[in-house]
Amino acid sequence: MMHTPIKVITVEREYGSRGGEFAHDLAEKLGWRLLDAELVAGAARAAGVDPRQAAKFDERLDPWYYRYGKVFWHDSGYSMAAIGGEHIFDSERMLALIKQEITDAAQEGNCVLVGRGAACALAGHPGCFHVFVYATASAKRDWFSQAFPRQAQHADQHLAAFDKRRAAVIRRFYQQEWCSRGLYHMLLNSCMGFKAMIEAVQGATGLATCPEAAASG
């Protein structure tokens, strides 16, 4: 893998680990594009829907009753096209559009992709390096309490629920376990600090001595 120059880094993250912030700093250090919420916005443009509507489906599955209804339509012989299915925008369609956004970005290269199954979508692709960011329970709890002080007493429940939703999306769409170590080249505890994390990624990818990275960093 390392014989191919790294042009894409994906960053998956536990909720509360500040992985998104790390990805921002990493992209800035490398002088690369950061694609986080931009992936959702791109899917919205492709589908011709309001970005605010698309954001409701971000890293979430459709409700069970909606998924059950879709199965019923198919099993009953109904054509989704006959009832306007080509215009239906749901989490399944958005995930497919986001996957296309991810693969298109990877073709262009020099980008940091945040979450949304990017490590799964690009598994085995040359020139891609996959990172998973986690943190201690106390660090995530402190982050949540500062971000949402009114819900601080329920921090653990919210943190666990958010990661459970992310895992469910990846399991359903990619048939992969979201936090499986085999998906990633590097696991980083954000408690070590962004500077050390960036240096670790640069060292592992060879980007620390890359002329392009040095020129833009």
Average pLDDT in the 164-193 region? 92
What is the DSSP secondary-structure string of 123-180?
TT-TTEEEEEEE--HHHHHHHHHHH-GGGGGGHHHHHHHHHHHHHHHHHHHHSS-TT-
Q: Is the pLDDT reported for residue 46 higher than 90?
A: no
How large is the average pLDDT for residues 140-146? 96
Residue 112 is classified by DSSP as E
Three-state SS sequence of 8-40: EEEEEECCCCCHHHHHHHHHHHHCCEEECHHHH
Whether the pLDDT of residue 211 is over 60: the answer is: no
Token look-up 């048939």 returns 175
Residue 54 pLDDT: 74
| Residue written as token pair 């096209």 | 81
Among 129, 136, 135, 127, which residue's Cα sits nearest to residue 201? 129
Q: Tell me the per-residue pLDDT of 4-35, one tens digit each, with 9 for 90 and over.
A: 899 999 999 999 999 999 999 999 999 999 99
- Collapsed DSSP state (helix, strand, coil) of residue 100: helix
Those residues whose C-beta lies under 8 Å from the C-beta of residue 125, and which sit 6 or more positions away, are: 8, 106
pLDDT on residue 4: 83
CATH for the 8-207 domain, from 3.40.50.150, 3.40.50.2300, 3.30.930.10, 3.40.50.300: 3.40.50.300
Total length of the chain: 217
* Average pLDDT, integer, range 156-163: 94
Distance CA 42, CA 133 (A): 24
Cα distance between residue 132 and residue 210, in whole Å: 23
